[in-house]
Chains A and B, each alone.
Chain A
Amino acid sequence: MNNALGDEQRDALQELMNISMGQAANSLARLIEAKITLSIPKISSVTPSEFVAMLSSEGMWHTRQSFLGSVKGEVVSLQSRLGCEAIAELMEYQLPLSDTTREELLLELSNILAGACLSGFAEQLALTAKLSMPTVFDPEKLSPDHYRWANTLSMEVEFKIESSQFDSKIVICLEEDSISTLLNRLNSLLE
């Protein structure tokens, strides 16, 4: 099975992600009543060391959340420390944030964004994927040597809330076995 992406497939994945993130942004925008700026989705095949490098960005908090269904994988979110309080206010959290409430906010935000991104994506491809509870994690403890996979398909989208300088990245990573499932669906959609 060839897991490499052709131009046509990449275009399709990008557009599908574009639509999913549009839905995710709309979900969040309705909740916090602020305009959200969307980026162009990045679709790439990454190795473990590329994956670790992708996550090691300063000034961000990280959460992860796995999903199971006809495709499997994990969603990792990166959320900027800057602007966190402003979002908290929009989401009716009590300020100033304690460590606990901040964590609660991060998990809630990542759950909303990841949930909307993934469900939009899965729906368009007639796939199923149920998200589990998100948890906070520290990517500094990741080591590429420990991974049992060689490649993952990563789909990265970025949400910015310019009014409060907040920045959030959602990275959907597919397990190797699921990539072929995805490609099959994609090909039938493109026929």
Chain B
Amino acid sequence: MTTQSVLENLTAKLPLGVCVLNDQMEVLYWNDFFADRLNISSDDVKGQNLLTLFPNEAKYLKKKINSVFVLNNASFSYWEHRPHVFLFSSSRPITGEETLMYQNIEFLPLDVTDNKVKTVCMIVQDVTELASYYQGQKELSEQLSQEHNALQELNRKLEEAQNQLLQADKMAAIGQLAAGVAHEINNPIGFINSNLQSLEDYAVKLLKLVNFYEKVVHKTQNKTFIALQKDMQERMKYQFIREDMPELVAESIDGINRVSEIVKSLKAFSHVDSSEWQYADIVEGIESTLKIANNELKYNVEIHREYQQQLPKLFCQPMQLNQVFLNLIVNGAQAIVDKGHIYITVSATDNDYQVAIKDTGCGISKSAMHKIFEPFYTTKPVGQGTGLGLSLSYSIVQKHKGNLVVTSKPNVGTTFTVILPILTPEQLLPEASAPA
């Protein structure tokens, strides 16, 4: 065989598409790879324009081939970027899932004289197998990385939930402890209170008695007795005792009354699941809540009240609503860094109650706004908030068929408005009969 025929035979059988073009984009030669697929033999195709043979990709081919003519530099086309420049069908028509052939193409300057490119050779390589393997791998690794991310996210959530549960547990334990303590203190407070009442009564009587004896001694006009009495009274500092004793007793009674108030409120609040429906005075509820919250408030927060006169009683779960007010007031107080104000406004129309709690605190950022009602969302340091307050409040208000509205401006303050429709027991609790 001559070299020429060896080469012809070789190019015909190459597993590559080979096509030679002149600068008019006319095909000078192509091998069996093209001839078989287009059913145009190498002899017949001679002189035909490549761009008319492949009109769909003419623009891209023209750009690529032109750059080889202009720059005298090879150019490449990758299956990753242009999978199917030539719309040839897949090389795996039976077993393959692909319908079109994936191709890498090289555009090479072939005949070059004086730096001028005369012909360009286009070599098409079928990389379907490679491409589908890579795509499979890529899908697999994407899937893996997705699963990995999902797992990490899950892990994070679990950790968070565990922390929250620990926190919630702690809060529940504190609540139980408070209830227990309140119960235990209640008894001694009861007898201290009644004993103090008796003590007050006795003190008054004792002073009267001493008064009487003083007068009797004076009546005797016995100078010795009178002197003895005066001496004794001075030694015992009787004048002071007489003035101080009633005051002491009165102060103690006042003190124990205050203690019993606090215990009463504590008891009320420790009944977190107390969900009795009844008619209740909302302002009363707010006032008792303020007493509980007093500790959080007294140093830096000034409370301003604006209550509408003659508010009707509302059919509600008063303990639960108090919980809502407490959350909103405490949140407001915690948002106040230095000194500030909380304005509590209560008003009602024929249709609904509005309780607005406005603070002059740091406000809520836009990004946090849509998350504040989510359970476990908190901006407070660990240990200070459960992230449950607002979500709990929200669900309580919803149970009252009401609404909890928030408006906030960073560094100006936040207003939470609880809107409670005035409804009858039947409307609120359609399935249960109204309590007596």
Contacts and interface: CB of A to CB of B under 8 A. Distances in A.
Given A31-B71, A104-B81, A111 B76 contact: yes
B67 interface: yes
Contacts, number: 41
- The number of chain B residues touching the other chain, given as a range, is 10 to 19
Contact of B80 (A92, A100, A115, A131): A100
Nearest to A113: B73
Given A31-B67, A92-B63, A133 B73 contact: no
Given A133-B104, A133-B106, A31 B78 contact: no
Closest 3 A-B residue pairs measured CB to CB? A115-B73, A104-B81, A133-B76
B78 A104 contact: yes
Contacts of A134: 76
B406 to A, nearest CB: 39
Nearest to B73: A115
- The number of chain A residues touching the other chain, given as a range, is 10 to 19
Interface in B73-91: 73-76, 78, 80-82
B70 interface: yes
Given A104-B82, A115-B73, A133-B78, 17 more contacts: A27-B71, A30-B71, A31-B67, A31-B70, A31-B71, A92-B63, A100-B80, A101-B81, A104-B78, A104-B81, A107-B78, A107-B81, A111-B75, A115-B71, A119-B73, A133-B76, A134-B76
A111 B81 contact: no
A112 interface: yes
A119 B81 CA distance: 26
A103 interface: yes
Interface of B: 63, 67, 70-76, 78, 80-82, 104, 106
A112 B76 contact: no
A112 B74 CA distance: 8
A116 interface: yes
Contacts of B80: 100, 103
Contact of B74 (A31, A100, A101, A111): A111
A108 interface: yes
A58 to B, nearest CB: 24
A27 B73 contact: yes
Contacts of B75: 108, 111
10 contacts: A27-B71, A27-B73, A30-B70, A104-B78, A111-B75, A111-B76, A112-B67, A112-B71, A115-B74, A133-B104
B109 to A, nearest CB: 10
A108 B74 CA distance: 10
Interface string A62-102: 00000000000000000000000000000010000000110
A119 B75 CA distance: 14
A100 B81 contact: yes
A133 B73 CA distance: 12
Which among B73, B74, B80, B106 has the highest number of chain A CB atoms within 10 Å? B73
A31 B73 CA distance: 13
Interface in A94-140: 100-101, 103-104, 107-108, 111-112, 115-116, 119, 131, 133-134
B126 to A, nearest CB: 15
A153 to B, nearest CB: 23
A103 B104 contact: no
B72 A119 contact: yes
Contacts of B67: 31, 112
Nearest to A115: B73
Contacts of B63: 92
Contacts of A112: 67, 71, 73
B97 to A, nearest CB: 21
A104 B104 CA distance: 13
A116 B80 CA distance: 25
Which among B63, B70, B71, B74 has the highest number of chain A CB atoms within 10 Å? B71
Contacts of A92: 63
Nearest to B67: A31
Contacts of A27: 70-71, 73
A111 B73 contact: yes
A116 B78 contact: no
Nearest to A28: B71
A119 B104 CA distance: 23
A53 B44 CA distance: 56
Interface in A158-191: none
A30 to B, nearest CB: 7
Nearest to A104: B81
A116 to B, nearest CB: 6
Contacts of A100: 80-81
Contacts of B82: 104
Nearest to B81: A104
Nearest to B76: A133
A69 B155 CA distance: 55
A116 B75 CA distance: 12
Contacts of B74: 111, 115, 131
A115 B75 CA distance: 9
Which among B70, B75, B76, B82 has the highest number of chain A CB atoms within 10 Å? B76
Nearest to B108: A130
A107 B67 CA distance: 14
A27 B75 CA distance: 13
A106 to B, nearest CB: 10
Nearest to A100: B81
B76 A107 contact: yes
A136 to B, nearest CB: 9
